[in-house]
């Protein structure tokens, strides 16, 4: 049976409150503040369970380790800061992406990724 542990609770909390997609390394760093000594294997296991539960969904960016965010966020896209490497959510979507595809292609989904610098990096 499934058990509640401080590790899993901390990992879930970090992801629930992040407001942006986090990598396993980012989750580990953040959750280690609550649970010192937290191991990466534990984070991987917890994240995979949260994915299976449907609480998280994966955000894949080219050439990057997978990030994870709450599955209940609705349609949106992502911004990848080329300076600090963090990923952010961007609301809104131009829509009608399917029309870009040539005749004969069946579009099931789309992803838009913006690249640039986040506010913190623009300021710093």
Partner DNA sequence: ATAGTAATGATATCGAGTTTTCATTTACAT
Partner DNA sequence: ATGTAAATGAAAACTCGATATCATTACTAT
Q: Applying CB under 8 A, does 115 fall inside the site for its own copies?
A: yes
**Cβ atoms of 39 and 85 closer than 8 Å:** no
Q: Applying CB under 7 A, does 66 fall inside the site for DNA?
A: yes
Residue 90 Cβ, how far from its own copies at the closest point, in Å?
Answer: 5
Q: What residues have CB less than 8 Å from 51, skipping those under 6 apart?
A: 57, 58, 68
What is the per-residue binding string for DNA in 13-52, x denoting contact by CB under 7 A? ----------xx----------x-xxxxxx-xxx-x----
- Strand order through the sheet with 67-70: 22-23, 67-70, 56-59
Specify which residues 78 forms β-bridges with: 89, 113
One of 36, 37, 63, 74 touching its own copies (CB under 8 A): 63
Give the footprint of DNA on this chain (CB under 7 A): 1-8, 23-24, 35, 37-42, 44-46, 48, 65-66
């Amino acid at each position: 049976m499934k058990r509640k542990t401080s590790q899993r609770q901390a990992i879930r909390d970090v992801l629930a409150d992040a407001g942006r997609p986090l990598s396993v390394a980012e989750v580990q760093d953040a959750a280690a503040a609550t649970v010192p000594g937290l191991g990466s294997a534990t984070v991987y296991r917890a994240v995979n369970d949260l994915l299976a539960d449907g609480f998280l969904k994966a955000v894949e960016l080219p050439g990057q380790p997978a990030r994870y965010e709450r599955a209940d966020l609705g349609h949106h896209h992502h911004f990848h800061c080329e300076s600090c490497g963090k990923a952010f959510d961007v609301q809104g979507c131009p829509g009608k992406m399917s029309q870009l595809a040539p005749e004969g292609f069946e579009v099931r989904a789309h992803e838009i990724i913006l690249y640039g610098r986040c506010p913190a990096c623009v300021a710093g």
